[in-house]
Chains A and B, each alone.
Chain A
Amino acid sequence: MIPLWLIPLFPLVGTIVLAIIALSSSDSKQGPAESITGAVAVLFPILSFLSVVTLSVGMPVEGIRGTIGTWIDTAAIQVNIGFLFDGLSRVMLLFITGIGSLIAIYSVGYMHKDRSFARFFAYINLFLFSMTILVLGDSLLLTFLGWEGVGLCSYLLIGFWHTDLKNTKAGNKAFIVNRVGDVGFLLGMLCLVSIGGSALLSYDALNAWLLNALSLGSISNAMPLLSLAGLLFFFGCTGKSAQIPLLTWLPDAMAGPTPVSALIHAATMVTSGVYLLARLSNLFVLIPAVLNIVLFVGLLTAFWAAIAGLFQNGIKKVLAYSTISQLGYMFMAAGVAAFDVSIFHVFTHAFFKAALFLGAGAVIHSLTGEQDMRRMGGLLKKMPLTSLVMIFGFLAIIGFPGFAGFWSKDLILERLYVSGPMGPYVYAIALLTAVITAVYMGRLIIMTFFGKYRGSKENEAHIHEAPATMLIPMLILSVGSAFAGFLWAGLIPGADFFREMLAPVVGAAQAYAELGHTAAHLSPWIFAGLGTLAALIGIAIAWFLFMRPVPEAKGGSEPQGFGASWTFAFDKLHEWIGVIPTKVIAWFLDVVLNNIILAAQWLIGGIIEILGDGVRAFQVRKVRLQAAFSLIGMALITILVLIYGGLL
């Protein structure tokens, strides 16, 4: 059995090696040799993936635990650096390192001839390190370390082409908005610590404590704080997973290189919120009110992002909004305590969204950086393989029967329907969202691959299929987006491998949540039929609406910062709630408080100076007199102490 810490170690070593390469070649004009750098960059994620696979094969049901040392050891808080490899972290790690490796290979082709080649891969490896720490940590604090690490890497990679001010602004926005959510995470941890000490930060201890408190009946005392903790954790998740109200950063995050969008802002990092909900499932099922908020927020986000996706012209912008929308689906599933289904959607989504993004990256690459769909079109004949990949991803995301998204979305919709009295209404909105999903994704495919080419002549001359390093990962991912769903195909009896894998982690929580309400039993075929119908209606609408000449492109599709259109005033809301109050407080501190403090400083300084001038009269230039003064002072102090017995 290989040790658990090998999994994060490999990307960490990769980061260090690549950082050394990047730094040592910082003076040369050419940059380091791409072949060696690329080989190193790909090797370490693959090694990490292989160790995950090795560990996965022989994993016992209850998981593997390993502690490598003490991290914090003070009277108030004790935390170990411990890793937990169970059904949940196994699934997450498999696709994080697997898709991470594929995207690293893809990036070798995509980042070809970029001067900052080594720096890019150093960041990617650092991201994989942080992400593996996030899902492998056995305590909330270690998860938080990874949580912050992926936020940092996200910031670094969004602003990767930092010579463009817009990119750095988009990076700043992502970082700051994420930080707001992170405060929720921190406060949530503090809530748990104030309930039962720092031991509760460990997942195992937390679950044991909850179980114990539940059986003793003492849970109701801690209920207000537990609810608060749950709410705060969920707030942290909304930041990282781009849910209402902290969702505005993700569309702007598309300023980064496309492989980054695929890896970080679609497949892995943004799903860490869903991971956290599943990891804390035992906590969340005890606080159904918070779960209802999760459901409501997920529903609202999914619906809103789908609407917003209809009006985007940047190919990556559409995909960004579809990511937000799909994340909304995952949160909906978590909101009805169907944590295994939400993780299953995370899993399938990682495949098809990565395939879509990599396909979009190939399109952008061959059009030398053009991202506006109004200047694309008719690429089906010129880039048949890329089109195939994108169409596979498209069929998966709209839930076409048989493809990955079909199975996971179908399960989510089914769970939504049977979740309770509100179920059918939630189901109806979610189904409507599925129709809209098919419409805007259909629009993307039609505008990009069908019709006539509308771009510039010089770009048309060298439209080409992507090189093999880019094509092979895309094809693997498209195969995944076609077949990954069969790991839990609801309609096929016995095909629920995925559910069994997650059962040891979230099964108990879900069983608890299902106590007490008897589900109306409907045939799964009805849900599957309705889901398919939604996808087909969506495609039909897209066909009738968008198979026509596209209006001439006006304006660009680059990040717009806080002035972004179609964010349903969330940017304005952030401006009013967050930015303006902060500026007012900053003005207050700078102008008012600062001056008050300065005045006090001058006052005290002046008084001391005057006193000093007076005292200086004693400083005659006579050594013996000076010694006599100090002696008299000593004598006076001694006499005072003798009289008052040191109690003065």
Chain B
Amino acid sequence: MELQASYIQIVALALFTIGLAVTLTRRNVFFVLMGIELALNAVNLSLIGFAKTLPAAASVAGQILPLFTIAVAAAEACVGLAMIILIFKSQESVDIDNYSNMKG
């Protein structure tokens, strides 16, 4: 039995929801970051799922695009982690609610 495109979307939706829930409910900043990454990758998965429904030639473009997204996400994760480490140094806390005194 071949993998149905809609199953992929369901998985992607589930992953995205989990990522979002983690982002919104956890107070530890590392978990928030992980939640964001999860949601991002869920979108990548969804993209590939849709690309699969296209004819072969057009499908390739859809499959390549997530690669770029992953590369960018890696860079972005670096920056995000570096920032969190710096914030952690100054705040002595990983609780995201404590960061709200950063408002300008």
Interface residues of A (CB under 8 A from B): 621-624, 627-628, 631
- Give, as a whole number of angstroms, the nearest-CB distance from A186 to chain B: 51
A627 touches B23 (CB 8 A): yes
Query: Within B10-39, which residues are at the interface with A (CB < 8 Å)?
Result: 20, 23-25, 27, 32
B100 touches A621 (CB 8 A): yes
- A456–B23 CA distance with the chains assembled, in angstroms: 99
CB-CB under 8 A from A622, the residues of chain B are 97, 100
B24 touches A627 (CB 8 A): yes
CB-CB under 8 A from B23, the residues of chain A are 624, 627
Question: 3 closest A-B pairs (Cβ-Cβ)?
Answer: A621-B100, A628-B24, A623-B96
- A507–B100 CA distance with the chains assembled, in angstroms: 87
- Give, as a whole number of angstroms, the nearest-CB distance from B5 to chain A: 20
- A621–B100 CA distance with the chains assembled, in angstroms: 6
Identity of the chain B residue whose Cβ is nearest the Cβ of A628 in the assembled complex: B24
CB-CB under 8 A from B100, the residues of chain A are 621-623
Residue from A622, A623, A628 with most neighbouring chain B CB atoms (10 Å)? A623
- A621–B97 CA distance with the chains assembled, in angstroms: 8
Does chain A have a CB within 8 A of B103?
yes
CB-CB under 8 A from B24, the residues of chain A are 624, 627-628, 631
- A622–B96 CA distance with the chains assembled, in angstroms: 8
Can you report 19 residue pairs joining A to B where beta carbons are below 8 Å apart?
A621-B100, A621-B101, A621-B103, A622-B97, A622-B100, A623-B96, A623-B97, A623-B99, A623-B100, A624-B23, A624-B24, A624-B25, A624-B27, A624-B32, A624-B96, A624-B97, A627-B24, A628-B24, A631-B20
- Give, as a whole number of angstroms, the nearest-CB distance from A626 to chain B: 9
Main SS at interface, chain B: helix
- A627–B32 CA distance with the chains assembled, in angstroms: 11
Main SS at interface, chain A: helix
Identity of the chain B residue whose Cβ is nearest the Cβ of A620 in the assembled complex: B100
Query: Within B26-56, which residues are at the interface with A (CB < 8 Å)?
Result: 27, 32
CB-CB under 8 A from A624, the residues of chain B are 23-25, 27, 32, 96-97
- A621–B101 CA distance with the chains assembled, in angstroms: 8
Interface residues of B (CB under 8 A from A): 20, 23-25, 27, 32, 96-97, 99-101, 103
CB-CB under 8 A from B97, the residues of chain A are 622-624
CB-CB under 8 A from A623, the residues of chain B are 96-97, 99-100
Identity of the chain B residue whose Cβ is nearest the Cβ of A626 in the assembled complex: B100
- Give, as a whole number of angstroms, the nearest-CB distance from A642 to chain B: 16
Identity of the chain A residue whose Cβ is nearest the Cβ of B99 in the assembled complex: A623
- A457–B20 CA distance with the chains assembled, in angstroms: 103
- A621–B99 CA distance with the chains assembled, in angstroms: 9
- Besides A621-B100, A624-B23, 12 other A-B contacts (C-beta < 8 A): A621-B103, A622-B97, A623-B96, A623-B97, A623-B99, A624-B24, A624-B25, A624-B27, A627-B24, A628-B24, A631-B20, A631-B24
Identity of the chain A residue whose Cβ is nearest the Cβ of B96 in the assembled complex: A623
- A624–B24 CA distance with the chains assembled, in angstroms: 5
Identity of the chain A residue whose Cβ is nearest the Cβ of B98 in the assembled complex: A623
- A628–B97 CA distance with the chains assembled, in angstroms: 13
CB-CB under 8 A from A631, the residues of chain B are 20, 24
- A624–B99 CA distance with the chains assembled, in angstroms: 11
Identity of the chain A residue whose Cβ is nearest the Cβ of B29 in the assembled complex: A623
- Give, as a whole number of angstroms, the nearest-CB distance from B88 to chain A: 15
- A628–B24 CA distance with the chains assembled, in angstroms: 6
- A622–B100 CA distance with the chains assembled, in angstroms: 6
- Give, as a whole number of angstroms, the nearest-CB distance from B93 to chain A: 13
- A627–B27 CA distance with the chains assembled, in angstroms: 13
- Give, as a whole number of angstroms, the nearest-CB distance from A316 to chain B: 68
Identity of the chain A residue whose Cβ is nearest the Cβ of B97 in the assembled complex: A622
- Give, as a whole number of angstroms, the nearest-CB distance from B90 to chain A: 16
- Give, as a whole number of angstroms, the nearest-CB distance from A583 to chain B: 49
- A69–B100 CA distance with the chains assembled, in angstroms: 62
- Give, as a whole number of angstroms, the nearest-CB distance from A627 to chain B: 6
- A628–B25 CA distance with the chains assembled, in angstroms: 9
Identity of the chain A residue whose Cβ is nearest the Cβ of B20 in the assembled complex: A631
- Give, as a whole number of angstroms, the nearest-CB distance from B25 to chain A: 7
Identity of the chain B residue whose Cβ is nearest the Cβ of A619 in the assembled complex: B103
- Give, as a whole number of angstroms, the nearest-CB distance from B9 to chain A: 16
- A623–B20 CA distance with the chains assembled, in angstroms: 14
- A176–B54 CA distance with the chains assembled, in angstroms: 72
- Give, as a whole number of angstroms, the nearest-CB distance from B23 to chain A: 7
- Give, as a whole number of angstroms, the nearest-CB distance from A548 to chain B: 90
Residue from A622, A624, A631 with most neighbouring chain B CB atoms (10 Å)? A624
CB-CB under 8 A from B25, the residues of chain A are 624
- Give, as a whole number of angstroms, the nearest-CB distance from B15 to chain A: 16
- Give, as a whole number of angstroms, the nearest-CB distance from A612 to chain B: 16
- A623–B96 CA distance with the chains assembled, in angstroms: 7
- Give, as a whole number of angstroms, the nearest-CB distance from B97 to chain A: 6
Identity of the chain A residue whose Cβ is nearest the Cβ of B102 in the assembled complex: A623
Identity of the chain A residue whose Cβ is nearest the Cβ of B101 in the assembled complex: A621
- Give, as a whole number of angstroms, the nearest-CB distance from B87 to chain A: 12
